[in-house]
Amino acid sequence: MNLVEIKLENCFGIGKLDHKFNFSQLNTNSFLIYAPNGTMKTSFAKTLDLIAKNDSKSMPCDRVYENRVTVHSVIADGNAISDGSILVVNAEDNNYDSSTKISSFIASKDLKKKYDEIYSELDNQKNEYLKKLKQVSQSTDCETEFVNTYSQTPKDTFFELILSISKVLVTKPDSYSFRYNDVFDKKGNVKKFLEKNQQLLSQYVSKYDELLKKSKFFKSSGNSFGTYQANELVKSTEDNSYFDAGHKFTLSDNAEIKSAEELKQLLQTEITAIVNDEKLKKSFDQVDKSIGANAELRAFKSAIEKDNLLLVELEKYEDFRKKVWNNYISSLATETKELAKIYESKKAELEKIISEAKKEFTIWKDIIKTFNERFYVPFEIKIVNQEDVVLKEETANLEFDYKDPNETPVRKDKNTLLSILSKGEQRAFYILQFLFDIESRKQLNQKTLLILDDIADSFDYKNKYAIIEYLKELHANSIFKLIILTHNFDFYRTIASRLSLNWKAAYMATKNDSRLITFSEGKYRKDVFSNFKQQISNQKIFISIIPFLRNIIEYTEESTSANYGLLTSCLHMKSNTNSIKCSDILTLIHSTFPSTNTQNIGFGAKLIKDFVYETADLIEQENPISEILLENKITLSIAIRFKAEEYMLNKIPNSSSLVISSNQTSELLNHFKAINNDKSIITILERVNLMTPENIHVNAFMYEPLIDISVFHLVDLYKKVKQLI
């Protein structure tokens, strides 16, 4: 991935962007882009993210002007980049979940091979068994249905349950006329119906019990003897050996049963009499009618109409479900015992592998250790299903130990943790998610274009520098190509320095009125004013150094000094402003910065105010005008303020008598508003007051507003202020 060509048109806020990131030419793995707010950063990252996700229903577009044709092309070394080769890292993305990636860097190949070999044999046996079980149960998914019926803990796997139930099989299993899912449907509609109509069901069972009490064969009080017990009795005597031995049954009315056939006939007669009882039929009809025309219960309706007495069993729905499965499994007793035997013979070896698997977390532990050492967050990460991640490639189930100083850690799930963490801590958590994905790509040696969208924003300094250290590691790894986006100029300078980037790989982004995005070579890697001091003869720079010089004087001589007052008069309209010459300022520059003593200017005789206006007029006429140069913006800002204050002082009566010690532009605006309510003029002056202070009162550490503001906005405001005079 040596050359990446990105062409975008009408992608969110980007009108057009066409740029080649030539990594090999600059011998770099990273490009850095400083993009002031509103330029292109979010739109660029979002577009690349959608390209990576490759969802046809959600692709880049212009959300405002939907009829505009969208172009989004990413070409790597002459070929369209695959969606899996792009990863957009955004610390605000709280929906990103990389837990599926964890298995790729913690799974032991040797252990997994052994594990797979055992389970391959077991699965073959299981599949053959399930074919027979499906024939018996007629269930659409008998494995899931069986496991869900008996499972109580995550350790209750199919094989564990088969092993357990193989020890409690019934000798002579019942068979059922209904299909399993007709009574135990997957949506749970039958259960919901029975719960909703519990009263009707209880009435039916109550009437059934009354009939049992009246029966000469059945009994429903004390030690009950109902249809289940009777059927079990029939099964145990159906070979007639009991009767052939001379035994017989004597009923409560003294009637005698001397053969299995007589017993069967008596049982059938008694059951028929109960089922055909008018009161019981009426009770059944009430249940039947409650089902009505419910299409989802049609199969269930048919099942109970064929066998009314199913309702008796269904009063205890879940117990009956287990009973049904026990009978299904028992009907395959030989096969069940054989499968259980095979699994039991492998179980010890599997447990040994699983035990070893829990130890196979070297890379995982290194990642977590690195994260915990670098990032200052109140939690540690744990995987609670380690062996399944390693051996079954299941998604990692992450939990977090939240730590308060001097307190025992408390384990929390992801959602609870996020509700506790601060904004910066949440961002660290989201970054951790991306670390898993990135480490996964490392293990797979997967070449990837990483788009890093302001990933250190809102972090405290400790965590910000942890991110920077990680970026250094990624920058040194040739399988990754990085495009780092930021709107934070301090972060921009720091990254450029820490990664030792070629300045041709550090861009500053601009956007014109047509939404065309261009990347210019970055500037101001170090202290901008150190650079300014070397170019005093440059008109723009001479003007731009005045605010910085005033800050230095403020720190070294106090704000009450004459020199401080002189420089203030170069930034505000004061009584002496019209008499200050550029040579006066040069003298002060030389005395404050001795290294500049050898530098001279050719405009020393010019008055500073006129010189500022003259230089601002030249900037206004530049075509094309540089959107990056700070000196353009500082000069325009000073000229704008001069013009605005000059206008207001001319309009305010007796302005010469005003005493203003601070915030002069704001104070003048308040006085002006008191005598003039022209909204169009006030709007312009308010823009002056809003846009210029941060651009003029600037020191070596805080000049990001200068870079963020558009030079075109300043030119436009300068023109409007000039029109007032």
Residues found in the chain? 725
Spatial distance between the Cα atoms of 394 and 45, rounded to a whole number of angstroms: 30
For the four alpha carbons of 172, 174, 175 and 181, in that order, the dihedral sign comes to negative
Residue among 475, 455, 478 at smallest CA distance from 467: 455
The arithmetic mean of pLDDT across residues 437-459, rounded, is 85
Based on the fold, state whether residues 140 and 44 are members of the same structural domain.
no
Residue 400 has a pLDDT of 78
Residue 100 has a pLDDT of 56
Based on the fold, state whether residues 30 and 119 are members of the same structural domain.
no
Residue 413 has a pLDDT of 78
What DSSP string describes 218-242? -B-SSS-B-HHHHHHHHHHHTTSHH
Spatial distance between the Cα atoms of 170 and 331, rounded to a whole number of angstroms: 8
**Residue 521, strand partner residues:** 507
Percent of the chain with pLDDT over 70: 85
The residue ranking higher by pLDDT, 108 or 519, is: 519
Question: Distance of CA 203 to CAs 206, 225, 412, Å?
Answer: 5, 20, 47
**pLDDT tens per residue, range 29-75:** 999 999 988 889 999 999 999 999 888 888 999 989 989 999 999 99
Assign residue 76 the CATH number of its domain.
Answer: 3.40.50.300
Which of 487, 521, 555 delimits the end of a domain?
521
pLDDT band at 394 (very low <50, low <70, confident <90, very high): low
Based on the fold, state whether residues 156 and 296 are members of the same structural domain.
no
Is the confidence at residue 646, as pLDDT, over 90? yes
Residue 109 has a pLDDT of 64
Is the confidence at residue 220, as pLDDT, over 80? no
Residue 342 has a pLDDT of 94
Based on the fold, state whether residues 366 and 349 are members of the same structural domain.
no
pLDDT band at 222 (very low <50, low <70, confident <90, very high): very low
Q: What is the largest distance, in Å, between two alpha-carbon atoms of the chain?
A: 141
Is the confidence at residue 6, as pLDDT, over 80? yes
pLDDT band at 198 (very low <50, low <70, confident <90, very high): confident
Spatial distance between the Cα atoms of 43 and 84, rounded to a whole number of angstroms: 20
Q: Is the pTM of this model over 0.85?
A: no
Most confident region among 270-274, 493-497, 587-591 by mean pLDDT = 587-591
- Give the count of alpha carbons within 13 A of 283, CB side only: 25
Residue 704 has a pLDDT of 58
**pLDDT tens per residue, range 74-128:** 999 999 999 889 999 887 766 666 555 555 555 566 777 787 888 889 989 999 9
The arithmetic mean of pLDDT across residues 672-687, rounded, is 93
Output the six-digit token pair for 53: 């996700």
Residue 162 has a pLDDT of 94
CB 39 within 8 A of CB 510: yes
The arithmetic mean of pLDDT across residues 289-315, rounded, is 81
Percent of the chain with pLDDT over 90: 44
Residue among 491, 487, 377 at smallest CA distance from 423: 377
Residue 421 has a pLDDT of 81
Q: Whole-number mean pLDDT of the chain?
A: 84
Based on the fold, state whether residues 714 and 585 are members of the same structural domain.
yes
Cis check for the bond before 409: say yes or no (omega within 30 of 0).
Answer: no
Residue 320 has a pLDDT of 92
**pLDDT tens per residue, range 316-374:** 999 999 999 999 999 999 999 999 999 999 988 888 887 776 666 666 777 777 777 77
**pLDDT tens per residue, range 558-604:** 888 999 999 999 999 999 999 999 999 999 999 999 999 999 999 99
Is the confidence at residue 431, as pLDDT, over 80? no
Which of 475, 506, 521 delimits the end of a domain?
521
CB 443 within 8 A of CB 105: yes
Is the confidence at residue 251, as pLDDT, over 70? no
Residue among 475, 499, 490, 467 at smallest CA distance from 374: 467
Based on the fold, state whether residues 538 and 684 are members of the same structural domain.
yes
Number of domains forming the structure of the chain: 4
Based on the fold, state whether residues 543 and 499 are members of the same structural domain.
no
Spatial distance between the Cα atoms of 287 and 273, rounded to a whole number of angstroms: 20
Residue 173 has a pLDDT of 86
Residue among 105, 208, 690, 176 at smallest CA distance from 438: 105
Domain range for 340: 112-173+331-355
SS (H, E, C) 450-505: EEEECCCCCCCHHHHHHHHHHHHHHHCCCCEEEEEEECCHHHHHHHHHHCCCCHHH
Based on the fold, state whether residues 474 and 418 are members of the same structural domain.
yes
The residue ranking higher by pLDDT, 573 or 209, is: 573
Sheet holding 71-76, edge to edge: 14-22, 3-11, 71-76, 79-80
**pLDDT tens per residue, range 144-197:** 999 999 998 878 889 999 999 999 998 888 888 899 999 998 889 889 988 888
Based on the fold, state whether residues 265 and 403 are members of the same structural domain.
no
CB 464 within 8 A of CB 472: no
DSSP character at residue 417:
H
Spatial distance between the Cα atoms of 652 and 163, rounded to a whole number of angstroms: 97
Q: Count CB atoms within 10 A of the CB of residue 273.
A: 14
Based on the fold, state whether residues 79 and 168 are members of the same structural domain.
no
Based on the fold, state whether residues 557 and 584 are members of the same structural domain.
yes
Q: Which residue has the tokens 């395959």?
A: 332
Residue 341 has a pLDDT of 94
The arithmetic mean of pLDDT across residues 389-403, rounded, is 70
Is the confidence at residue 7, as pLDDT, over 80? yes
Based on the fold, state whether residues 556 and 625 are members of the same structural domain.
yes
**Residue 75, strand partner residues:** 5, 80
Which stretch of 1-10, 211-220, 257-266, 636-645 has the lowest confidence by average pLDDT? Answer: 211-220
Spatial distance between the Cα atoms of 316 and 323, rounded to a whole number of angstroms: 11
SS (H, E, C) 518-543: EEEECCCCCCHHHHHHCCCCCHHHHH
Q: Long-range contact list for 515-518, CB < 8 A, 24+ apart?
A: 515/13, 515/14, 515/15, 515/16, 516/15, 516/16, 516/17, 517/14, 517/15, 517/16, 517/17, 517/39, 517/40, 517/44
Which of 503, 521, 539 delimits the end of a domain?
521
